[in-house]
Amino acid sequence: MNCGRSILGQVSVLGLLLAAVVMAFVAPARSAEIKLGSSSDCQILLNGPIEAGDADRLAAAFDAVPSDGGHVTLCLNSRGGSYGEGLRMIELVLKRTNVTTVVDQGAECFSACAFLFLAGNTPVSEDGEMAPDRTLDVRATLGFHAPYMKDGAANESPEANPESYRRGVRAIARMLEIDRRELFPRGLLAKALQVGPDYLLYIDTVEKAGVWSIKLKGYRPPEPLTDAMLDQACRNKDIWTNYAHSFLSRAAGDPDEFHGIRQSDFPEIRGSSEPIRLVDGGYRLVLDLFGYEATNNCIVDVFEDAQGDIHLSLTMLPVEQNAPDAGQLASDIAARLSDPYSLELVSDPAWYVFAPETMLSTIVAP
């Protein structure tokens, strides 16, 4: 399902933002169940509506997880709840760091839960720099919820209530203040908070996951691979890296607009549709015309490990630089197979080969 047009289309963007934070997260009658999981895939489970006191319960769960200095996985299954409590939980996750957020198979994560999902993070430097660490199973549902008004308030503009307006301003400021490292994609926040009261902005395509730094799992291996698919992978990585901030700024119903630029600004997908043939467990393809001024090459390496799994590595380099040694890349990947976080440093997700508009529901693993 794609996001639809809001019935508040004539309301200002700021008004929509205020309405979103003031009225989107209506507190339910009972709080979430927060408990320890039985595997490293889900060390903490949050299930149910988010209500006052859940941040304290989440903090207690974090304290109860055996700590070895590694990542803690937080699995989410909630249709939302209290925005204020959600902010406290987000702040807790960002202060703790090394928290992987997951929406697992069959789970739903909306509204306050979706914003909590965005707080998943991993340190990438000793000076406190962090990168996003959030994973969506393609068999799950993740949706960002805009204004949800109680009966009797549906026709009230946020500007009509000065106190609600001031609370909304403070709430928006608090969200941005908490996210000082900008883990939350600004394009996603802006788009999600402009969606109307009766709709959700679903993360339902390969493009939305890629450009907003959401990892995917539960998808089928993209086989057989072709040169055209590898060119698509390079295109995806290039655009998602360089043009992410303008993503979804295009007008609704304009399919040719791509991340604030035109699809026609790029060459057509190139290469054969015939399956590639690995030689000694590897395959390399060098493609040109990437980067801001089309001055980079994309060096594609495909490797097959001892278990028969395929790994993809996409290296963007200026045309005058030499390509990395394929044998060394293969050795680096083989040495990191047991450490997913280390493996990500030398490889790229296989789902990058899918076309941007590919619906996640169509690539579910059998």
Task: Flag whether pLDDT at 152 surpasses 70.
Answer: no
Quote the CA–CA distance of 110 and 116 in Å, as a whole number: 10
pLDDT tens per residue across span 66-120: 867 678 999 999 998 888 899 999 999 999 889 999 999 999 999 889 999 999 9
pLDDT at position 248: 44
Is-contact 210 352, C-beta < 8 A?
A: yes
pTM recorded for the entire structure: 0.83
- Dihedral sign computed on CA atoms, order 312, 237, 359, 272: negative
Q: Write out pLDDT tens, residues 195-254.
A: 665 678 899 999 999 989 999 999 999 999 999 999 999 999 988 887 654 444 444 444
Q: Which two tokens stand for residue 284?
A: 């390399």
Consecutive H or E run containing 143: strand 141-145
Determine which of 19-23, 85-89, 157-161, 199-203 has the lowest per-residue pLDDT on average.
19-23
pLDDT at 243: 61
Q: Which of 32-36, 182-186, 310-314, 333-337 has the lowest mean pLDDT?
A: 182-186
Give 35's strand partners: 45
Q: Judge whether residue 129 has pLDDT over 90.
A: no
Average pLDDT over residues 321-344: 91
Share of the chain above pLDDT 90, in %: 50
Q: Are the C-beta atoms of residues 30 and 81 closer than 8 Å to each other?
A: no
User: For residue 81, what pLDDT is reported?
Assistant: 87
Residue 164 has pLDDT above 80, yes or no: no
